[in-house]
Amino acid sequence: MKNNIRVERAILQISQAELAEKVQVTRQTINAIELGKYAPSAVLAMKIAKVFGKAVEEVFQLEEND
């Protein structure tokens, strides 16, 4: 699972900590997901996409191994 979180954050100019606060998870969770260490839950993915004003598919992309 790939994602554009870093780019979307840059557009909004918000830190990992700020995004974390907006979607009510810890900063470490955002960091791990942004770095692709694991994939989020659907609820979290939808909340993140919502913050960016994008569809889930615009922020997260399935890969072959998914």
What residue ranges bind DNA (CB under 7 A)? 9, 15-18, 24-29, 31-35, 38-41, 43-44
- Tell me the three state secondary structure of residue 37: coil
Closest by CA to 24, choosing from 35, 40, 11, 36, is 40
- Shortest gap between Cβ of 32 and DNA (angstroms)? 6
Closest by CA to 20, choosing from 47, 42, 56, 55, is 47
Nearest CB to its own copies, comparing residues 13 and 51: 51
| Binding-site partner at residue 17 among its own copies, DNA, none, CB < 5 to 8 Å by type | DNA
Residues lying near its own copies in the complex (CB under 8 A) = 1, 39-47, 49-50, 55-57, 60, 62, 66
